[in-house]
Amino acid sequence: MGQRHDQSRSKRFDGTMMKVELIDKMGTDLSVVNAARVSYAKTRESFDDVKDEKLIKYLAEHEHWSPFAHASMQFRIKAPIFVARQLVKHQVGLVWNEVSRRYVDYEPEFYAPEVWRGRPKNSKQGSDGEVNTDGEYYNRYINGCKVYYSLLLNEGVAPEQARMVLPQSMMTEWYWSGTLYAFARVCNLRCKPDTQKETQDVANEIDKLADEAFPYCWMYLRK
């Protein structure tokens, strides 16, 4: 994908193995302004902090999105299936390749929250506050899923069918690549306070990494 981003970083959330890592990127803020200026057969060799920032601001405010599609990022993300299924809904300008339990049958990992959140009183979605519940029941359930999954595999059941006993809290990994503009749309929606916390955590980390990689463009694309 062009220029290698050699300062990849990952982050753990809630004591689990949730991670977001920027694997690669193509382009810079300069790439975006040059894509816009080609309309006038012009180009720059270096970024002008005044003129080019002004142009980026204009492009973002007037929704001239195509120049922002010439820059891209590639992430490797590890999160529970229920988070992945929310994020994969974003399709425009993005591509997704995920670990397949049809092909792998190693022991699965599972998400375990530090706290259990309460159901809000005035909303059909989201969460509010904490609930005192015995997490040991969850641990027993997960251990039971592991045992049954292993039993099915040992009895010769195909991985593509044995996986049906694994719950949504199972961890999965995927590569997620797309344009700068597409990831800005993801973060503009999924970084909001009403987003599920686990999904918001992943989006917030994408937000931070994108801001480091494309500081001027990201400043004006994020709403």
> Which are the catalytic amino acids?
190
* Residue 187: partners with Cβ closer than 8 Å, 6 or more residues away: 203, 206, 207, 210, 222
130 beta partners? 117
* Residue 14: partners with Cβ closer than 8 Å, 6 or more residues away: 111, 112, 113, 114, 198, 201
Q: CA 143 → CA 17, 28, 67, 132, 166, distances in Å?
A: 18, 46, 50, 21, 11
Q: Would you tell me how many other CB atoms lie within 10 Å of the CB of residue 15?
A: 10
